[in-house]
A and B are shown apart, each in its own frame.
Chain A
Amino acid sequence: MTAPSAGRTAAPARRERLNPLTSLTAAAATAAITTAAGTWPLSLAVVAACLGLSVAGGTARRVLPAAAAVLVPLGLSLLWLHGLFFPEGRTVLAEWGPARITQEGLAFAGQRFLQLAAVVLALLLFSFSVRVPDLVAALSARGVQGRFAFVLASTLTLLPAIAARAQRIRQAQESRGLVVSRSLVSRLGAFRLQAVPLVLSLIDDAGTRAAALEARGLSNTGPRTSYREVADSGRQRTVRIVLVLAALAAVVLRVVQAGAGG
């Protein structure tokens, strides 16, 4: 565990400021190539590399819980599904009634899980290390619509604010005598008492924001000036092109192979 992370600390230390598009391309290309290759040594290597990079970059404390929240239920589900019930399996290791543990089933579950873990970790590593304003500025500079950038940035910044507001509404309702018991009816009633004020205030806010944005020319077409400079270099541009080409090549190769094989 310590070896890969120790070996990788050298890379981020001397890196120039990465353009968010470079890291996005890297994460997407890693995901595509890992899926296309579908071999467990590569998946394992990617998982190890992502873990190492997240430790080195100082994001491990946020990446790991998020990854665990996704991967633990997924892994349990796959293990239960394919480990116990895999009608295509031939090598039976154990059997209780309808449930048969087969070697093929376990291999399928393990391989699929490793591959998904690699993809999930690569993408999470990107999303937890990228700075959203930089990403938005980089996207707008490339001609991606300001509207998409607005939706992305607005959602990511609204999330904590709305969670806090939901909490305040719950406290307010509780101070008015809301008691949630275990019965379904009571839970539904409680949901309504909290959801209606929340949604209402959100829609009202949105109306205000729409007027403000419209007054600042959100719907106008034409070039925009950004105050935020995002670092970029010729080398990063080359890296991006190479990564995209590599991912495309891997996907095409895999599809052609499958077409030829069956």
Chain B
Amino acid sequence: MSSPSLTLPSQERQAARRRLLEILGALAIAATYVYLVLNQPADITGGPGSASALIALTGFLAGAVLLIVAVLPTLPASTLVLIPVALVLNIVLGQFVGSTLVPFYLDAIGTVLIAVLAGPAAGAATGALSSIVWSFFNPTVLPFAAGAALIGCLAGLAARYGLFRRFYLAPVAGFATGIIAGVVSAPVAAFVFGGTSGVATGAIVSAFRAMGDTLLAAITKQALISDPMDKAIVFTVVAILVYALPRRARLQFPFVRRHRVLAGNTPVEAAADAPAQGPGHGPAQGTSPDSARKG
């Protein structure tokens, strides 16, 4: 409980190692994506079991696991206990929407909530963990771990740079996040599943296929229709939820106080809270700024 630095070995080498893991994870995800997009025409219809499916699975999963390994030890306990809650929210809402006839997913509400309250690193870890834990009930979400991590990271960055301070900016940030997330997730859907797992999203893909698009192009276009709308809705829902929370609940998070994530009279609070927060959370343990890891 009391200051942890007395007994711990020096933190600097560990921090450097974690930073390296973060960068490696982001690189693995980016390299996999580039490889898949460059290589796609040759083997999409060359039968299943394609090498691309394996590369997509391996690369994205390895990247997500590296990110988890790098980020998880740095999170303070107050953030760590929120992750299971976020995962349950993701799973409960996502399972419900995924089976209905709406071309959305809404499976990132918990991830975005954590990202807004605790920062991009926590958001990325939550996204990746969410996919891994959810795959206990639904193994098909496992390959989307990298995309989910990206959503969490981008949502955290949006919160950090004040896009949640104005209510109308939240859906805009969600829309932009959705474009990036959709483009990254499309190769997974195309190569691993050969389609989408939902009925409504499948109908949109087949409309593009009917016009003669390749499978990857059709799924990317579907993702560009579904994902930005989906994430705009998710970000709006999260903004509603966060602003509906009492101030005491939302200001307990150092990230919210430090970067003035939400509109309102935070600076006064920050001044009042800063000394009180010191011994409880360990001064160097707060979510470190992670703007560098923008794969």
A positions within 8 Å CB-CB of B: 31-32, 35-39, 66, 69-70, 73-74, 76-78, 80-82, 84-88, 98-99, 104, 108-109, 111-112, 115-116, 119-120, 123-124, 127, 145, 147-148, 150-152, 154-156, 158-159, 162-163, 166, 192, 195-196, 199-200, 202-207, 209-210, 213-215, 218-221, 251, 254-255, 257-259, 262
Contact = CB atoms under 8 A, between A and B. Distances in A.
A151 B133 contact: yes
A206 B50 CA distance: 44
Contacts of B69: 145
Contact of B246 (A35, A200, A218): A200
B46 interface: yes
> Is chain B's binding surface mostly helix, strand, loop or mixed?
helix
Contacts of A119: 139
Interface in B173-218: 193-199, 201-203, 205-206, 209-210, 212-213
A105 B203 CA distance: 16
Interface residues of B, number: 76
5 closest residue pairs by CB, A with B? A38-B49, A77-B202, A258-B51, A85-B209, A154-B84
A145 B73 contact: yes
A87 B214 CA distance: 8
A68 B111 CA distance: 27
Nearest to A120: B139
Interface stretch (B54-62, B146-154, B161-169): B54-62
Contact of B48 (A38, A70, A99, A150): A38
B245 interface: yes
Majority SS of interface residues in chain A?
A: helix
6 contacts: A70-B197, A80-B199, A81-B206, A152-B133, A159-B92, A219-B285
Given A99-B210, A219-B282, A147 B72 contact: yes
B8 interface: yes
B133 A156 contact: yes
Contacts of B8: 221
A25 B240 CA distance: 42
A233 B51 CA distance: 35
Contacts of A204: 249
B133 A155 contact: yes
Interface stretch (B18-26, B75-83, B261-269, B287-295): B75-83
B80 A98 contact: no
B140 A116 contact: yes
